A and B are shown apart, each in its own frame.
Chain A
């Protein structure tokens, strides 16, 4: 319904989504930009659960969905009436650009009556509305204070309103009710059983009538956040008091089991054992199995994928054979790690340390990640470079350096970068108190070779301004002994700040091995294609991996993201899950399943228009 001055909600027969916000024309106006930023911030705070990609919030009146008698100005926030207003046929209305998303939970907008106009029209109804607009509209009229719902006959509702009044409309999408406010005072429920997808709407019928909308551009007169806080508390109370029924007694056991399985899944062996002891629960998997998984995970996370594959094949024969996709993923990663210089095949292809299989003490200290990024992990790595590991600070390395001249040259980025590598790795050696004559010899030779290779393959590596340490030159034994520390500190040596990084650790033989491995990988891909048909994912993976070689500085190239140690985590958990599955254990810990399910459930609630999702967000409960 549209009568003289009504604030209402209207549904739409043909919702026109994807309309541009009003502000797009006026981006140059700094005041407007400021207002826009403030609006965005306020909307984000009011409606955190709304995904604006799916369901945009109303931000202005729609210049398309309006009567011709309606004029818009001031970024489509001001509405004025420009008809003659002689009879009810001249009534006109305009609605907002978008319907109110259910995920708002509670939605609110205000309209300020700038001018009531020449009030020569008294109440007139029913109106002749534009087709499709009157059905199921819900309004509050200024002239008589009546509320109008669909039918067109008014009900006494609230006071009348006029020039200077601020009228607010709050839609509660949890219980599907609506109330209006006048100058910050709630007038009480106007409508119940509201349908979904309503648009904020305003109707005018008097010449000179002007109203300004506030969709969040300015602070509201009514304290809507206080109202929201009540509903948040209500929903949280509802969740807290949700009846659990006869399973009540098992509640503690369920929780303990969740914690225990989570610890076991990620291989926190010692913690899991201690927890099981304290809670007198049983761990399903046996100790050796957990430790094996733990060891394989550590290898993957350390970038030593080749060894991880080897260990998996040895401990879980047939596993990778039955999972060719997983194997291919692992091999691709191995190739990436070769480029990185972390894989043992390029680090030390002559040495095979049998000890590596039984000398992993403790549990991995790298915490598993749940999201796409983990700033903690990142910063931990940055804070503690390899060489330090809490033992020696980087500047001290220089004094231990066997080649001080080269080292200083590297810092000016003009000489062979590989020498830096040596100096760093040597100093690292010395910090581990493992003087190893063989190491320096071998590296010395590789140094000269690398200079040629570097020129040959990746010209400009030397000019790489960002010096990085490579941990690629670690000896196997060193790793094993320094296991806890080096793994713990964010996988030793992929650090941004210390020395320059080089392809395959700057080793020519290693580079050759890498090239060869690349060919094998290509072969594997072709073989898989023959056996299982074309696989787009594989092709993409392979392409991305090989692309690394096309850049002079693979770490700073469009596909350089692959070299980030954090990329190991996905494959690591995939491998872990595969192993667990092969042992007839759940491939996901129940805790993560529950979390994922809850998150998904809340998102689903938004899609099926259950407003309470706004106040039942999972992150409210994660601290």
Chain B
């Protein structure tokens, strides 16, 4: 075993100390059971609070012997219990101790011990198991390997307050995945643990509460069950509300608020429920106050950010609660200059939490500002806010960088901020730097933000373009992550909006037609949509259309045909028809459609489609084709009349959609060669002759 193998290496160092320790181990092998018992008790007294002694005994092989005695049916129950107590004491030492114990297979042995009827022994085993399982070095999976363990632990919950405390603590530390949640849920965790919430023991109440918080996290099934649970004829949510009362211990308030937050996010409680608006939210805001411990402030801010993320009303309420926005500014003041001078210990503490505090504050700002323009304004007006974000983007901690860029992204949804503070603080610079080399999750956020910075009205667009962003974005479109591909192509789409020929050419060149057409067959419909959007933006203004179509016309027409034939959503088809309409606006590009009967038939088909959006887009396309000021319009009109388009247009004038009627009137009258009417309509068509597409990334 590992612990024994280590022994020879350390013996030289420990030789002197081990002499006394060895005596304790030797006594475990005494043939007289009474002497063994006394030996274990003496060992217990020797190791309490003595980490060195604990390490010595482990090295000397006490653990396997103790486990042997513990498992031996012939051992007296007193001896077995004392062995479990000593093992529990050894586990209280360093992480290395825990590792050694786990390597000696202490977990199955102790779990086996729980089958014994003796309560004192069970409690000692549970206490030891608890200590082992709450250590980060213990693999939690060990709790689930034997399927009989969880049901047995559930049954032990009724035995005593101690079993309740230890078991719930084990559960709350070992419930890390949705699978774990399901296992515990299926074994009746909720029914078994709910009554413990009103236990007379604070420890039991607290551990039971923690259990519920890990069970409910992102789990709809658990959350939906929890809302209907009654504890002593009181709804569970009300029990949680009571636990959030201001005179309760902070730990309890915070954990109860987490439970309600998770239940709310899972859809089990409405976001406008008074227990969320008037209790949970204010409680979490209080947790962010300066009076709380740094750990509590971090947890409070993160939970609050999670609670209100999807709900603008909660964001609005939080933004006016107890000056939260200003309160968060304080999160950036650690370590404070005072603590550095006066108190080394505090400085150390501050430093340890400084990153956590900053990332929590960024997260909360991101959540607060994700929808409401006024809140965003309030955030950017907070002291040094933009500077803090900018420096956050280049911090060493990935967590802080990610949170900072999330915050920046949230604020980048504001047109006003893009025009002002974003430009003033040149946030694009650190953002670009961040994009060079970052983990995927940071890249996703950073590229999303970049999309917004590349919007036409953003003054940052120009400098970003000059910094050689196109190559970077093109490489993103080749990423394995769909989110990165979307963001890459999205940014290119925004960039191409009303861009000059040079930029468009650069995009096409950098991306390469091959990649462009690969993206048109991307399995992710978002990627497809944005690629079509890019095409549409590239194909705007007549000279550009003709130029692009002359070099890539064949492939584009092919791709368009394929998409129109394929199984795609209405939005995708609409976007594709819009591209056709843009092509139809070109001088020479028109011919690519007019000479393609297949495409013309498709357009005809969509003009009679049941979906008005598609009809409109198809009609728009025809309208561009028969535009009569241009050369050869007469021929085109004749051909289209032959193909039966005029009949359809006449039918469409009777259609109910006013927008469509208008469009179809244009087409009909154009073909009727009514010059006076056309002049009026020409202005309309100039405006909509080509259409492009930009979107703010939400």
Contacts and interface: CB of A to CB of B under 8 A. Distances in A.
Interface of A: 158-159, 179, 182, 184-189, 223, 226-227, 229-230, 232-233
Nearest to A184: B278
| Interface SS, A side | mixed
Given A184-B278, A223-B278, A229 B321 contact: no
Interface in B242-281: 245-247, 274, 277-279, 281
Given A184-B278, A223-B278, A189 B247 contact: no
Identify the 7 closest CB pairs spanning chains A and B, nearest first.
Answer: A230-B246, A188-B323, A233-B247, A188-B322, A229-B247, A159-B320, A184-B278
B317 A185 contact: yes
A273 B502 CA distance: 106
Given A184-B278, A186-B282, A230 B247 contact: yes
B246 A185 contact: no
Contacts of A227: 246
Interface of B: 245-247, 274, 277-279, 281-282, 317, 320-324, 327
A158 B246 contact: no
Contacts of B281: 185
Tell me which of A189, A230, A232 has the highest count of chain B C-beta atoms within 10 A of its own C-beta: A230
29 contacts: A159-B320, A179-B322, A182-B320, A184-B274, A184-B278, A185-B277, A185-B278, A185-B281, A185-B317, A185-B320, A186-B282, A186-B322, A187-B320, A187-B321, A187-B322, A187-B323, A188-B321, A188-B322, A188-B323, A188-B324, A188-B327, A226-B246, A229-B245, A229-B246, A229-B247, A230-B246, A230-B247, A232-B247, A233-B246
Given A186-B321, A223-B278, A226-B245, 12 more contacts: A184-B274, A184-B278, A185-B278, A185-B281, A185-B317, A185-B321, A187-B323, A188-B323, A189-B323, A223-B279, A226-B246, A230-B246
A158 B245 contact: no
Nearest to A182: B320
A184 to B, nearest CB: 5
Contacts of B245: 226, 229
Nearest to B316: A159
Nearest to A234: B247
B399 to A, nearest CB: 28
Between B246, B281, B322, B324, the greatest number of chain A beta carbons within 10 A of the residue's beta carbon is seen for B246
B635 to A, nearest CB: 64
B282 A185 contact: yes
Contacts, number: 40
Contacts of A187: 320-323
A189 B317 CA distance: 16
A229 B253 CA distance: 13
A40 B322 CA distance: 31
A185 B279 CA distance: 9
A223 B246 CA distance: 10
A188 B324 CA distance: 8
Contacts of A185: 277-278, 281-282, 317, 320-321
Nearest to B279: A223
A198 B327 CA distance: 28
A330 B246 CA distance: 55
Contacts of A184: 274, 277-278
B227 to A, nearest CB: 21
Contacts of B317: 185
Contacts of B327: 188
Nearest to B281: A185
Nearest to A236: B247
Contacts of B277: 184-185
A233 B253 CA distance: 14
A189 to B, nearest CB: 7
A181 to B, nearest CB: 10
A261 B566 CA distance: 99
A179 B247 CA distance: 19
A179 B289 CA distance: 15
Contacts of B279: 223
A375 to B, nearest CB: 31
Contacts of A182: 320
B381 to A, nearest CB: 10
A226 B283 CA distance: 11
A187 B323 CA distance: 6
Most buried by B among A159, A185, A233: A185
Nearest to B323: A188
A374 B246 CA distance: 36
A187 B317 CA distance: 9
A158 B320 contact: yes
B267 to A, nearest CB: 23
Contacts of B278: 184-185, 223
Nearest to B317: A185
Nearest to A232: B247
A171 B292 CA distance: 22
A233 to B, nearest CB: 4
A159 B277 CA distance: 16
Nearest to A229: B247
Nearest to A179: B322
Contacts of A159: 320
Nearest to B319: A159
A232 B323 CA distance: 23
A223 B242 CA distance: 12
Contacts of B247: 229-230, 232-233
A239 to B, nearest CB: 14
A415 B467 CA distance: 121
Contacts of A223: 278-279
Contacts of A230: 246-247
Contacts of A229: 245-247
A232 B317 CA distance: 27
- Most B CB atoms within 10 A — which of A179, A187, A226, A229? A226
A184 B320 CA distance: 12
A188 B327 CA distance: 10
Contacts of B324: 188
A286 B206 CA distance: 54
Nearest to B324: A188
B140 to A, nearest CB: 36
A233 B246 CA distance: 9
For B245, B274, B277, B279, the residue with the greatest tally of chain A CB atoms inside 10 Å of its CB is B245
Nearest to B327: A188
A223 B279 CA distance: 9
A223 B277 CA distance: 12
Chain A CB count within 10 A is highest, among B247, B274, B317, for B247
Contacts of B282: 185-186
Contacts of A189: 323
Contacts of A226: 245-246
B388 to A, nearest CB: 21
A558 B317 CA distance: 64
A163 to B, nearest CB: 18
A187 B274 CA distance: 17
B510 to A, nearest CB: 48
A233 B279 CA distance: 19
A186 B282 CA distance: 8
A159 B320 CA distance: 7
A7 to B, nearest CB: 15
A185 B317 CA distance: 8
A184 B246 CA distance: 15
Contacts of A186: 282, 321-322
Contacts of B274: 184
Nearest to B326: A188
A184 B321 CA distance: 10
- Identify the interface centre among A184, A189, A232: most chain B CB within 10 Å of its CB: A184
Contacts of B323: 187-189
B320 to A, nearest CB: 5
A179 B322 CA distance: 9
A226 B322 CA distance: 16
A186 B246 CA distance: 14
A141 to B, nearest CB: 15
A549 to B, nearest CB: 59
Nearest to B289: A188
